[in-house]
Structure 1
Amino acid sequence: MAFFLDEIDECLWDRLKVTDKKIVLYGMGDGAEKIRAALDEKDIPLGDIMASDEFVRGHSFMGIRVKTLAEIEELYGDDFIILVCFGTQIPEVMEKIAFISRKHELYAPNVPVTGEGLFDLDYAREHRDELMKVYGLLADAQSKRVFENVIRYKLSGKLDYLTEVETPSDEKFNLLNIGTEEIYADLGAYDGDTVIEFLNETSMQFAKIYAMEPDSKNYRKMKRRLYMLGSAIFEAYNCGAWDEDETVVFNLRSGRSSTAVPSKNMTLNPARFREIKMLKLDTLLRGQPVTYLKMDVEGAEEKALLGAKQTIADFSPKLNIALYHRNEDMFKIPLLVNSMQKKYRLYMRHHPYFPDWDTNLYAL
């Protein structure tokens, strides 16, 4: 059967492999380090590093002096390719990136937030059957457009694919038909920002909220921000969502690629690792219902779903699940949800963000 993936014969890494232009990283930090590692692995030489003018102070990053765009233009004319190495949902910054892309060849390489490897053409072809199955499960034309464009973005690094299909973030509430009697479980509640978004949408009309946040600083901030909600209607837990009830450790120095493993499997160095309590949502709820379940848990979405298996089977809550942390999320998460509850209708949306960090699955 014909599938859009079959017409794609090149990805960004192929383009970079053969170009004679200088490769210039735009941005510093973990994203730049991961993209440089990918370039090194594929024997693609790095030419230079740039940053926005306000962040250039004569310093170096990864052994290269960071330059302004004007310096890069003076050095190389138009004979360079810019690779965006950071994420943003700030409209002004997104517009600045778009403006630069109209002047110069620019891409935003897709590297996973968590996990190894790249979503390149070989990877996509390896998982063609799963991708095609997900495409067939999607419930409306916009979901299919989002799915196709996000995959095309992942392979090409071209941000236009994302802007072509983006919709406002608050669209999810209409799509999910969020009402005033919801029992809301927020897995990965951060500092309470998504709880506050929910409260604003429902005008403070709801039945109950459960919130899980593993980071102790974020948890305390959330508790302070939401002090007005009594414990009878707001239960907050300083723990992460998982598929087992156990303690895990997180590597504090691995940035966006932080990984969790059972604490019994390693000797802890307190300077590098922190123990985190993890719970299944099914354990936390003890058979109590949920009508709306959101998961944005830094690459643990599969485990969080498995830990909510009974809740989903018993109550079929409306789902809002992040799809952008791992390479496999675009096919593995929708297929898992479909296997857990066949009656769900699956939707996919991308909300304004460079790169694809606000691409979500909605199920109802």
Structure 2
Amino acid sequence: MKKFFPLYSGVCADYNGKYGKGEKNMDFLSLERSVWQVLREEKRPIILYGMGDGADKILAQFDACGIRASGVFASDEFVRGHSFHGFRVQKLSEVVQQFGEDIVIVIAFASQRPEVLEKMYALDARFDVVAPDVPVVPGAVFDMEFIRMHETEMQQAFDLFADEQSRQVFLDTVRFKLSGRLRYLRASETDKDEAFCTILRPAHEEHFADLGAYTGDTIRELLRYTDGAFASITALEPDRRSFRKLTAYAEGLSGNVRCEQAGAWSSDTVLCFSDQAGRQSRVAKQGRETQMRALDSVLDGAPCTYMKMDVEGAEREAIAGASQTIRQYRPKLNIAAYHKSEDFFQLPLLVHTLCPDYRLYLRHHPYVPAWDTNLYAVCP
């Protein structure tokens, strides 16, 4: 196996991300070159694959870095003769006819659908492909300067993880966010069954708090592992349309279920919320005034044994609002750690500060880019 690079004292990583424990600090700056620097120096045509919010963000970063795109293409079924940012949207075959195959393809959208991932992997096998990482919510881009600012925190978080798989996910997350290379996501991904069956191990009598319950999808996910059994469910969802679907689903559950149309926050307050459904729904400067709740206030001392958070970048505030519950009940934690560039290392540090007894795990489930990277925490 070809050796890739030394990571820190006593460690070498290969292309599969395997490594052994070393003795001293990691050199995060040595892991990869920033994709933004590489693209800025690129002489070949740079072609975006995809349109929409992700492509908007990538093109904005191109402008900031002085990177020039040469075209845009979409899957054949989405090509209808329209334009995007001044480019005529083409089919891949048209791009190849115009530029040849010696091009750089920039994946500019996100997906977890197996058939879409297979298309991305097939492109990666044929062309030079990158999927630059831009944060889901507005914030700092992960580049060399970002690492210089946060290297100490990254080392501290790395040292906290409880198993080798978590450390591999951490390193491959850094590599991917720097390079945009799909091989790093694929090297360390695992499916949800591994996390639920070996880390979380949900029981039949869970008191489940679901923050960012969406339409009930993660309630369904949990109940699949408990044969439909639970002690109680408390679900918060701020988006109006998603909340209607959530309550419709909850009406079919028998037992102690409470749904509240509210966002998870550090305190009970009212904030502007974009209210656009899905990943576009989040606390914003403009939007619909929406009730926000601290979980500690919602539960008012009631037990919680399993807590899930996927609140579109408000995870820090949600953790602060659940701090009493976390300290008192030590619930199993399932927290999205990918909305902001710093989430995958700052959220573990925050949880550790609240409860040093937690064993911390990091997992990446199949997704391009590094979405569905989750922090799992359990007490012995």
- What's the TM-score once normalised by structure 1's chain length? 0.94
Give, in angstroms, the shift of residue 139 of structure 1: 0.2
Match of 1:227 in 2: 251
- 1:11 is aligned, of 34, 38, 44, to 34
Give, in angstroms, the shift of residue 259 of structure 1: 5.5
- 1:59 is aligned, of 82, 85, 92, to 82
Structure 1 residue ranges, 4+ long, deviating more than 6 angstroms after superposition:
none
SS in structure 2 opposite 1:66? strand
Contact 1:113–1:257, Cα closer than 8 Å, also in 2: no
Counterpart AA for 1:351: H
Gaps of 5+ in 1: 267-271
Q: CA separation in 1, counterparts of 2:230 and 2:281? A: 34
Q: More relative contact order in 1 or in 2 (CA 8 Å, sep 6+)?
A: 1
Give, in angstroms, the shift of residue 257 of structure 1: 6.7
Q: CA separation in 1, counterparts of 2:32 and 2:127? A: 23
Match of 2:271 in 1: 248
User: 2:200 aligned with 1:186, yes or no?
Assistant: no
Give, in angstroms, the shift of residue 121 of structure 1: 1.4
Q: Give the RMSD, CA atoms, in angstroms.
A: 1.7
Q: CA separation in 2, counterparts of 1:106 and 1:188? A: 33
Contact 2:273–2:289, Cα closer than 8 Å, also in 1: yes
Contact 1:169–1:352, Cα closer than 8 Å, also in 2: no
- What's the TM-score once normalised by structure 2's chain length? 0.90
Change (3 A) 1:167 1:337: same
User: 2:260 aligned with 1:208, yes or no?
Assistant: no
Counterpart AA for 1:206: F
Contact 2:275–2:287, Cα closer than 8 Å, also in 1: yes
| CA shift digits 1:98-126 (9 cap, x unpaired) | 00111111010000001223101110122
Match of 2:296 in 1: 282
Give, in angstroms, the shift of residue 4 of structure 1: 4.6
Q: CA separation in 2, counterparts of 1:258 and 1:127? A: 28
Contact 1:21–1:80, Cα closer than 8 Å, also in 2: yes
Contact 2:32–2:175, Cα closer than 8 Å, also in 1: no
Give, in angstroms, the shift of residue 206 of structure 1: 1.4
Q: CA separation in 2, counterparts of 1:64 and 1:281? A: 47
Q: CA separation in 2, counterparts of 1:115 and 1:129? A: 23
Counterpart AA for 2:55: A
Give, in angstroms, the shift of residue 79 of structure 1: 3.0
- 2:149 is aligned, of 116, 119, 126, to 126
Match of 2:67 in 1: 44
- 2:331 is aligned, of 295, 313, 317, to 317
Contact 1:115–1:257, Cα closer than 8 Å, also in 2: no
Q: CA separation in 2, counterparts of 1:252 and 1:35? A: 23
Contact 1:320–1:362, Cα closer than 8 Å, also in 2: yes
Contact 1:187–1:213, Cα closer than 8 Å, also in 2: yes
- 1:195 is aligned, of 215, 219, 224, to 219
Change (3 A) 1:182 1:251: closer
Q: How many residues align?
A: 354
Counterpart AA for 2:98: L
